[in-house]
Amino acid sequence: RKEVEQDPGPFNVPEGATVAFNCTYSNSASQSFFWYRQDCRKEPKLLMSVYSSGNEDGRFTAQLNRASQYISLLIRDSKLSDSATYLCVVDPAGGGNKLTFGTGTQLKVEL
Amino acid sequence: EPEVTQTPSHQVTQMGQEVILRCVPISNHLYFYWYRQILGQKVEFLVSFYNNEISEKSEIFDDQFSVERPDGSNFTLKIRSTKLEDSAMYFCASSDRGYYGYTFGSGTRLTVV
């Protein structure tokens, strides 16, 4: 089983749609979880941390289910500018020494 | 907004040559990292650095790789004898608390020919 697994997509959605991405991780002892965004040939940029209680930042909502080792990201009211690859990222040991990245899910928002 | 600066943005080198990739982390950050991303593949951890020593390194980070913080601002990655398979985008990152997530630099694209 891969350490962090994501559906590669692409997800092609119309502007204004709601889209959800899922991710599973293999190490049940993992401590911290993040969603990063990566534009083509650019660096990853932190979108949001993910907490067990769930958290929201504007149009973005992240959820963590530790029992199922499952992380999700929901994007509401998609914009053209949301087109990017969304990376599920896990910190296995906590403390930030090392991040494990998924391969990413590509999102294309269309007119 | 503070940023991590990497130079050069693109480097082409011949197989077997040494390369040094340079990074200037955010000034008040204490934790530094190198990651790489081979074209079309996932971002992979190479090494973390704190308090002037390596905190953790991956299997990729073998004897051909080394890191250094030669002064108060720069953080470098050296590859002693490059191989074709070292061709990748190398990202430097820094963090003030580690577990809050990192800020990545814009990367150095290394092409080994």
Which of A20, A48, A45 lies closest to A32, judged by CA?
A48
**Cα B90–chain centre separation:** 6
Q: Determine whether B27 is exposed, middle or buried from the number of CB atoms within 10 Å of its CB (0-12, 13-18, 19+).
A: exposed
The DSSP symbol for B63 reads T
- Of residues A110 and A97, the one with the higher pLDDT is A110
**Closest by Cβ to A34, choosing from B98, B101, B105:** B101
B101 and A49: CB-CB below 8 Å? yes
Q: Comparing A95 with A13, which gets the higher pLDDT?
A: A13
Residue A92 has a pLDDT of: 83
Distance CA B56, CA B3 (A): 23
| Closest CB to A98 among B42, B56, B100 | B56
**What count of other Cβ atoms lies within 10 Å of the Cβ of residue A92?**
18
**Quick one: which of A15, A5, A2, A23 has its CA closest to A107?**
A15
What 3-state class would DSSP assign to A65? strand
Q: Tell whether A34 lies on the interface with B, counting CB pairs under 8 A.
A: yes
User: Does A1 touch chain B if contact means CB atoms closer than 8 Å?
Assistant: no
Provide the 3-class DSSP secondary structure of residue B53: strand
Q: What is the pLDDT of residue A2?
A: 83
Confidence (pLDDT) at B97: 75
The reported pLDDT for the residue numbered B98 is: 59
State residue B82's pLDDT score. Answer: 97
pLDDT per residue as tens, chain B (113 positions): 789 999 999 999 999 999 999 999 999 898 999 999 999 999 999 999 998 999 999 999 999 999 999 887 899 999 999 999 999 999 999 998 756 678 999 999 999 99
SS3 category, A106: strand
Question: Which pairs from A52-60 meet CB under 8 Å and 24+ separation?
Answer: A60/A35
Q: Could you report the per-residue pLDDT of A20-54, keeping only the tens digit for each?
A: 999 999 999 888 899 999 999 899 999 999 988 88
Round the average pLDDT of chain A to a whole number and report it: 93
Instruction: Determine the average pLDDT of the residues in A50-62.
Output: 92
SS3 (DSSP) at B11 = strand
